[in-house]
Structures are given as C-alpha cells and as structure tokens.
Structure 1
Amino acid sequence: MRIAMRGVVAAVLCLAFATASAADGRAPAKRPPGAAIASAHALATDAGFEVLRAGGNAFDAAVAVSSVLSVVEPISSGLGGGGFYLLHDARKGRDVFIDARETAPAAATAASYLDAKGALDRDRATNGPWAAGIPGLPAALVHLSRRYGKLPLKATLAPAIRIARDGFPVYTRLSRGYAARREVMERFPGTRAVFLADGDPPQDGELLKQPELAATLERLAANGFDGFYRGVTAERLLAGVAAEGGKWTAQELAGYAVREREPLRFAYDGWEVVTAPPPSSGGIALAQMMQVLAPWDLAKLSPTQRTHLTVEAMRRAFRDRTFYLGDPDFVDVPVETLAHPAYAAGLRASINPDKATPSELLSGAPTPLEDEDTTHFSIIDADGNRVAGTQTVNLLFGSGLIPPGTGVLLNNEMDDFALKAGTPNAFGVMGYDANAPAPGKRMLSSMTPTFMVSPGRVAVLGTPGGSRIITMVLLGALGYADGLDAQAVAALPRFHHQWQPDAISIERGALAPDVIAALRAMGHTVNEPKEAANGQRSSDTWGNLQTVEWDRATNTLHGGADPRNPVGKARVEARAAR
C-alpha cells in the first residue's frame, strides 16, 4: 500500500507541475536565493544564520538553533528532552525523519505509577525523576552534525555555549512559567542552584546564566555522544536521578540510539505533504484529517460549515490515535491502513454534514484493523536543504529536576505513555496497550514537523502545543493550501477537537459569535476561554507556530513567526552561505 500511495502522490504532483509550467511559461527556481529561519527565540534564529555564514548548511544551522533553544527556552525544551527532525537533503533529493524521542527506563513499569488505591499517581508521572525518560536530544545533535552537517560540533554548538555561559534576558513567558511550576522546581537542589542563583526566581529582563549547562555543552562538543551519555555528564545525571529516588542505569544512557525513519507522505490538492511517522501520532492524524477533507472545496464553504467538517475530521483522527498508535519498534502500528485514502473515505462517509457526531457514537473500544511547552523551528538554506524541528521536555520545565552539576533540566515525557489504560494524561488524551511503557520504548508524541511541497511553493512548518500540535499544523497546512503566505499561516486563529472530551476548544475571537451559535445548534459543544480565578484569562491563545516558505515561481523566501510569542523571530537573509 505504501508503494501505491507514493505512486498516487507522484502522479498528482507531476500533473500539477506540468499544468503550472504550461500556465505561466516559467520554470520554477531550482535553488532559493538565500536562507530563511523561523524559531521561537530571536537568539536561536540569529545563531542559525551565524552558522550559515560560517559555511554551514541547514543541518548545521539546525544544530545551532536546536541547542540555543535548549538554553533559552528551558520552559519548552532542552538537552534533557527529545525531539523529531524532518530533513530534506536537496543534493540527494531525499527526505528523512530523525527520531530522537526519549525512551523508557527499565524500572519505569506501569505499576510504578499507581498509588495504593490503584489510581494514577499524577505527581510521580509529571514531577521528579520517575517522570523522566532517557534524553534523546543530545544524540540528535551529534547525529545531525556528523551525518548531514559540514561543520564540527564545536562550531555549531558555540552559540549555545556562549549564551549559556554569558546569559540571556529573562522574558515574560519564562518568568510566568517558573511561577506556575515554582513549587516543583524548588524541590530539587540542582534546580534551585540554576534558577535561584541570585537568591530569587527569574525576573523579566535580568540575565539568566547557566555555567553548568555551558560546561555540559562543551563536553558534548568535544566528545560527541560520549560527552553526554558516558563520562562525567552521565555520572552526574545518574547520581542526580538516584539521589531523588529514581532508577536509571549507565547501560540505558550509553545504549540510547537515534532512529532514522521513512517519513509519511500523502497528496492533498496538488501538494505533497511530508510529515512525521510513528512514534509521532501527528503525521497519521494529519493524513487522515486532510484526506477526509480533500473532496470539499473548503474555501467556498461558509465558516460554520468549514469548521464543522474540520472538527469532525479531527474527532475521528483523535479517536484512532487513542487505540492504534505507539512506538513502531514495539507494536504493529497499522500505518498504511490508517493513512490510506480509502480509509479516509470511510471516515468521511460517517460525517453528517448538518449535525455533530457525538464522540460516544464513535466506538470507545479498539476494533480490528490490518503550550507553551515544546518548541519548533523551520529552516530552508540556499541549496534547498530544509529542516522542520520540533523538540520538547513535555510540560512546563519538564520534570522540574536538574541533576546537580549538569544544568540539564530533565523531561517528564513518561506521562505521554498510557501509564494507566484509559486514563487521560496531562493533555487529556488517553491510550491503551499500544502506548503502554516498556524498557527502551518511545512514548507516543503529538509533534508534527511537516513539509508541504507543490510545483510552485515549498513550506516548512510545525508548532508546540501538546495534543493541539496536530490540529494547529492541520490549520496551517490548510492555510497554505488556501494560498496564504507564511506570516498569515503563523497568525491563523485556532480551534481544536480531540474526540475526548467531546468539545471544541477555541482561542478568544477565533470564531465569530454567529458561527459559535450555529455550531451549537448543530450539536457541538464549544468551549470559549473563561476568566480564571486570579482574574487572568485562561486559554486565550495557544501554540507557537514557526514556518518558512520558498516561492519557487518568484524565487523569494518568506518567514512566519507566531505573533502570539513576542520573542520569536523569522528572518530571511539573501546572502546566506551556500
């Protein structure tokens, strides 16, 4: 089936290419005029260009951007977490998916997360050493550099080392996130040593210096994989985890391995969409949703009808996510069935165009088949190489635990497993056996780094946002298909449905009042942002989409940084190094 799908994709795109060329008489540009980078922090974007100007390519720039984000966005990602990197090697004409997802320690069985009454121990699942999987991001940086880059790690990690050592100004999202997680963060001496170094929590505008993290990055730069997973850093990680009651082993650290996987690809309205395979749930869900919607001309529908159909596609994709998806190295994930156009046609047939489908009417049992947290960056270089990178520590500041002497904030990705079958995790999504923990297994993720390729345009996009990542990438992809530019795509208003709970959540102002009323009349529950107890509004906005685009017809580059994030930056440089 996969070969058949690729044939369909290729045929559609060849026809579109021939049509486009005949229409304007001008062949699309073969190389971009420079480079474009969009990331969630200006320092990371600038670091990427610093490396490009030094002779690096997009993959070297990805190491620089990823590592700087690991320094300046501890609220979202870091060396103690993991990520997915979708790459396009222009010289080889090859796409590859780099899976640097964290893995489960052997001690972390499902039973380890239950309290005396058999209920899920939420504190253990999200805070401290038991919440943390074995980190994958440092291995990814080494892998990207050595297999795809042109420069040594000492060059590509230099900006992150410098910023960690010299400090960067604290911004509101970081200080606010620390305040929200302060009780957990200050349980651990290693964490207090970093964030309370001057005697009080991080304040807007003050410099946050991380000398221990700088030293850890220096060991990684000097010794590659062994500079993190063996030797001094590994010893300190193991000691810090053990001191708080966790159970990691030296063998688990040294045995971590990045996986290269074949990306998932499908056709939509003249575009080839290249996206994340399992253990991401995002690519399959994206394929399902876009192929369910494909027969409708969404641009010609009323806002109510378009939203209704999009929500119904979301509902069905998230239902399948719950039961079928997990680490493909451990479970048989029916990728080709779930992502096939014929399966999407069956899902489409179950949609009533005039009424909401109650989630309870979609089977709640398996059937046979054959936020602020997390960050994203997008890169296109002057040779046409591109990277979509999404990385995370899961919730705000991950587990809150920094093993002393490392500066490495550990993730709390164990909560992304189905630690107790049918019990929602922190993002409200559930899972069953396919996503149960096992030694060395990778937990399911919603991260969805994506390329969209048409004869005239190439786009790179992705976002943080927990389970909402998938639907934000969907809305962004549909925006590109509608002809929007990169900045307009990054700014699109957002709505979300994930099967359970059975409700549409929306950003403030995302849907007009008459559309909300019409959706409710169709049977939808629409949850608008509400005033929180402290007077602050909850869920006004979400996500932090970063995207870049190459218009091959005009040979121009464009970047889009999410306007919801004031420290993000999209930048185009016409003379970036080739």
Structure 2
Amino acid sequence: MKLVARSLLLFALVLAPVAWAADTAPARAAHPDGAAIASGHSLATQAGMEILGKGGNAFDAAIAVSSTLAVVEPISSGLGGGGFFLLHDAKTGKDVMLDARETSPESATPDRFLDKNGDLDRDRSVNGPWSAGIPGLPAALVKLAREHGKLPLSDSLAPAIRVATDGFPVYARMARGYASRREVMDRYPGTREVYLRNGKPIAEGDIFKQPELAHTLQLLAANGFDGFYRGETGRKLLAGVKQAGGRWTAEELAGYTVKTREPIVFDYRGWKITTASPPSSGGIALASMLQILEPWDLNKMDQAHSTHLVVEAMRRAYRDRTFFLGDPDFVDIPQKVLTSRDYAQGLRATIHPEKATPSDLLSGNPTPLEDDETTHFSIIDSEGNRVGGTQTVNLLYGSGLIPAGTGVLLNNEMDDFALKPGTPNAFGVMGYAANAPAKGKRMLSSMTPTFMENDDKVVVIGTPGGSRIITMVLLGILGYDAGLDAQQVAALPRYHHQWLPDEISAESGAFSPEVARQLQAMGHKVELPGDLAAGGRGSSHVWGNLQTVEWDRRSNVLSGGSDPRNPVGSAEVRKFGKAD
C-alpha cells in the first residue's frame, strides 16, 4: 500500500497536464456509452445499476444508491440524517444543489446544551434526542423522484427495501463502530431492538436484517413525503424522541423543506469546477484554495515545495471558514469576496515560497480534525446526467437513538452548531455566531460533492472525512489536473492542514522522511505516522472513502474509482447504450 501510494503521489506531482492541439483533437462524444457509479458499498452500487437497467436516469439511480447506503452504512448515513446532492441535467445543462441538511428544532436553544456550571454538556450534544436535528434525507429522495427522475419513487426505493428485508453481511468497520458506541446505543429500547436481537450484539459476518426500517422505507415509497414526516412514521419519530427526553413538534417535522441552491462555480487551469454552496463550507474553501494555487505549476515542483504551497492555501481557507460561514438563510456570508480572484490574490501575496506562515499570525482558536464518518457516491448516466451525493448522520451511528418501530437511526448533527461560541465540538471544531443554532437553521457542513469538466473530460468526485473532506477533494482535483485516472485519484495519499492546530497531518506513505525534513526546515510541524518520524506521536492510519467517476469524451470511455481504503466500496461501469 505504501509503495503504491508513494508512486502515485510522485506521479501526480511530476506529470504535467496533457496538451492537445485543437485542430487535431478527435470529436468529443455527446453522450457517454453507458453509465458509471462509485459508492461506499457494492450493494449500493449494484442498486443504482439495477435502476438504470430498468430505464431510470442518474437521479433515479441516486435514490437507489442513497437509500441503500442508508440501509448498509448505518455507521455513516441513513434516513435519520441529511446530505447534499449536486445535480447536472444534461438536457438543460443546468447544475443545482439540493440542500437536505438537517435543521434545528425550536427547543434546541444553546442553553439546553450547557451543564450546571455553564460548560458544554458533551453527552447531550452528541448522544440521544437533543443531539438530533430534523432529518432531511427522506425529503431529498422524494424531491429527486418528483422533479428529476423518470421512475416512480417506489421503483427506486425497491432495492433498499429488499436489502433491509433480506439483510446483508456485517462488515468489520460496522462491527467495530458498534462496539465503540454500544454503551450509548444500549440506552434506548428502539436501538436495542435492532442491534441486540436474541440478546447478542452484531458481529462481523452476521446477516443484519432491519424489518422496521424496511417498513419505514415502504411507507416512504407509498406515500412520499407524508410517509416519513407525517402519518405512522412521523408519530413514531415524535414519540421516540419524547420518550428519550427530547422535544420535537409535529409542525417542525412536517415543515421540513429541501432547499434548492445555486452551486459555487469557478475556473481552475482550464477546468470548470462546480461545487457545494453554503451551508457547506467546502465550495467556498475550494474556490479560495485553488485560486490561490492557480498561478503556480505544482506539477513541475518537487514534492516539498508543492506541498508547502498547498498547505499554505489550506491554512488560509480554513481560517476564513471558522469565522464567516454558516446557514445562508440566517447569516450574511461574504461569498462574493471569499470566492473572488482578487481576494485569492491578496491571500497568495502573504505566502512565502520557502517559509511556513505561523497560524497564530492568522489569529483565532484551534480546530482539530473531524472523524471519518459520512459517505459519498458519484454517478454519470448514458444521457450525461450526473449526481454527486454526500450524506451523513455525523458521528459513528449518529445519536445512537432509534425511535421504536422505525428502524431510523437519528443523527447527532446538532453538535455541528456552535452550541457554545468558541468551544470545540466533539471533533474540536470551533464556531461563533454565524453557526449558532436557531429554529429551522442548518448547521455548517464540510460535505463537498464536486463536478470538474473541460472540453475533454467530465468528473464527479467526493468523500467523507469530516473537516478533511475539503482537502481530500482538493487533492483529488489536483490529481486529475496532473493526469491521473479515476482509480489513481481515489488511491492518492492524503495530507491535511486546517489552520489550527498548526500542523500538517498525513497518512502513512504520504511523505518520505526526506520530504518531511524539508517541510520541517521550512517551519512546518509535520504530524507523521510513528514509523516515519522518530518520536512521532502520529498513527499509521489512513482516512477517507473517496468515490469518483470520470467520462473521457475523446475516447467516450467511462471509468470509476473507489477508495481502496474501504474494502466494501465499489465502482462499476456498465453499457446501457447511447441516449437517443
């Protein structure tokens, strides 16, 4: 793994973008000759292909993939969570983002999350009913079917219902995650009913069936929005939250709406980048980082100097993220400024080409790394429609609470708000007034589904990884620009800097000892795995679960890349014939 990763990174750094002459370029295909899907679980990828084979488009397939991930990845996402869906309609050429981020209940005022000493109550902010926002994912699936799909919602949900009914093998990460969260999950009768059947906890290799979740999905399939947010499921959700000590109302549950937002769009070295807008912080951060970096040809630099410049761009973008970003329906975000070339030029001028900028010169408070939960999928269909979907329940198994009879594991996204200004959340991430909770407000997110396109190629890319999502997508974009293919991009080694703590964190194999020493000589603190840095306190773990698909319009070849760090993920390409 290390040798492959290092080779890919070196390849990415030295390979200059491929040049071509316009007068000799072959004709570009108008439509892909088939479809490509990459997701975090093979059953979800297969579900999407099944729906495409029945005449559905990328948006129908997205429903199938998303809902199946909600069944097979409860550790990362589910009907009790939310997400962002970046959509491209090939017929109209229009790009939109569906914002299905969870919203704050009216009862969840900041004082509810403080203990008797006025400090943040960690247990309440990440566990149980008070940690859960109103879910958005089911409403997004309904909206996708109604406004973008070809097939009835019931058809697109059928694979997820089948998998929930028949079950699937528990994989190692799912079992480990449950073991780490069992103390919390055992608190709630509805959760115990799902995860402790026959008195035994789930174990790797068990066939995990979820009949209550299958029933909830059937009600959603039959009745659309009302099948989840009202009626039987709605009543059970409200009762389960109340029984656990929380407070949701029928009005705010039934009043949830998916927002349609304009994506962030900008250019980078001949690529048109279309990416997530607020309440995602990812698109603005990407625009800032890439426009800072654009004048430098990173592909012609040695690894230490290219990494130094990328890290300095990361440092500045993450500083702005902390202070300026939140729900655009509640706060004024200086988006035009933060995404402008002039602003990027000003930030670039503060970067020394040979020396690190100490983060304490960009004053603020520390924001350590987030965890790896969340999931992403990428789709291109034979009409040229495409979807990048990133969805989550936040921490491992979200809040740990399943309202009895629903099978729906609720999120713990309330912790993504600044519940106490200037106080880190579970991941150490800070926030201030721009990201404080309020009735109906959406918490800030790092989810960054992204499209890249130029005359010759179209790419969909995204990943889980908390605050590291944005930098992983950044490195993926730089990898594509360097000429890597989809699978090479998915396998690229990763490093990250987020302003504070003032250090570069890196996977095993990302840097050689010599490159690490060169970065340290420039003034960077490099948090390397212990096997690469003498006395290093870092671990040898890897992070992320990047899923990407690519359409080469010159050869009309589709390809997919599924992160090799995730053994149950898959990328599949299948020919369905060209669109008429």
Please, what TM-score do these two structures have when normalized by structure 2? 0.93
Secondary structure of 1:461's aligned partner: strand
Q: What is the alpha-carbon distance in structure 2 between the residues aligned to residue 511 and residue 308 of structure 1? A: 12
Structure-2 residue corresponding to 1:540: 541
Post-superposition offset of 1:431: 0.9
Q: What is the alpha-carbon distance in structure 1 between the residues aligned to residue 505 and residue 100 of structure 2? A: 30
Q: What is the alpha-carbon distance in structure 1 between the residues aligned to residue 246 and residue 500 of structure 2? A: 32
Q: What is the alpha-carbon distance in structure 1 between the residues aligned to residue 184 and residue 481 of structure 2? A: 43
Give structure 2 stretches of 5+ with no counterpart. Answer: 1-18, 366-370, 532-536
1:124 aligns with 2:121: no
Q: Which moved more, 1:105-114 or 1:278-287?
A: 105-114
Q: What is the alpha-carbon distance in structure 2 between the residues aligned to residue 274 and residue 116 of structure 1? A: 46
Post-superposition offset of 1:122: 1.1
Secondary structure of 1:459's aligned partner: strand
Secondary structure of 1:22's aligned partner: coil
Structure-2 residue corresponding to 1:239: 239
1:239-282 alpha-carbon deviations (Å, 9 max, x no partner): 00011110100001000000000010000000000000000000
What amino acid is the match of 1:207?
I
Q: What is the alpha-carbon distance in structure 1 between the residues aligned to residue 20 and residue 98 of structure 2? A: 32
Cα 1:528–1:412 change in 2 (3 A) is same
* Counterparts of residues 370-389 of structure 1 (less than 5 Å): 371-389=371-389
CA contact (8 A) 1:75 1:372 kept: no
Structure-1 residue corresponding to 2:162: 162
* Counterparts of residues 99-114 of structure 1 (less than 5 Å): 99-114=99-114
1:185-212 alpha-carbon deviations (Å, 9 max, x no partner): 1111111110111322211111000000
Q: What is the alpha-carbon distance in structure 2 between the residues aligned to residue 95 and residue 78 of structure 1? A: 25
Post-superposition offset of 1:539: 5.9
* Counterparts of residues 471-486 of structure 1 (less than 5 Å): 471-486=471-486
Q: What is the alpha-carbon distance in structure 2 between the residues aligned to residue 103 and residue 84 of structure 1? A: 13
CA contact (8 A) 2:528 2:538 kept: no
Structure-1 residue corresponding to 2:534: none
* Counterparts of residues 238-317 of structure 1 (less than 5 Å): 238-317=238-317
Q: What is the alpha-carbon distance in structure 1 between the residues aligned to residue 424 and residue 476 of structure 2? A: 26
Secondary structure of 2:248's aligned partner: coil
CA contact (8 A) 2:33 2:578 kept: no
Post-superposition offset of 1:23: 4.2
Structure-1 residue corresponding to 2:564: 563
Q: What is the alpha-carbon distance in structure 1 between the residues aligned to residue 331 and residue 229 of structure 2? A: 27
CA contact (8 A) 1:428 1:500 kept: no
What amino acid is the match of 1:34?
G
Q: What is the alpha-carbon distance in structure 2 between the residues aligned to residue 108 and residue 544 of structure 1? A: 32
Post-superposition offset of 1:21: 6.5
Structure-2 residue corresponding to 1:360: 360
Structure-2 residue corresponding to 1:498: 498
1:537-562 alpha-carbon deviations (Å, 9 max, x no partner): 84610000000000001110000000
1:377-400 alpha-carbon deviations (Å, 9 max, x no partner): 000000000000000000110011
1:214 aligns with 2:220: no
Q: What is the alpha-carbon distance in structure 1 between the residues aligned to residue 61 and residue 51 of structure 2? A: 6
Post-superposition offset of 1:229: 0.3
Structure-2 residue corresponding to 1:408: 408
What amino acid is the match of 1:495?
Y
Secondary structure of 2:197's aligned partner: coil
What amino acid is the match of 2:154?
K
CA contact (8 A) 2:479 2:489 kept: yes
Q: Which moved more, 1:507-516 or 1:64-73?
A: 507-516
Structure-2 residue corresponding to 1:153: 153
Q: What is the alpha-carbon distance in structure 1 between the residues aligned to residue 482 and residue 396 of structure 2? A: 34
Structure-1 residue corresponding to 2:186: 186
Q: What is the alpha-carbon distance in structure 2 between the residues aligned to residue 25 and residue 342 of structure 1? A: 34
Please, what TM-score do these two structures have when normalized by structure 1? 0.94
Post-superposition offset of 1:574: 1.5
Post-superposition offset of 1:306: 0.7
Q: Which moved more, 1:34-43 or 1:538-547?
A: 538-547
Structure-2 residue corresponding to 1:393: 393
Structure-1 residue corresponding to 2:4: none
Q: Percent identity?
A: 69
Q: What is the alpha-carbon distance in structure 2 between the residues aligned to residue 251 and residue 264 of structure 1? A: 32
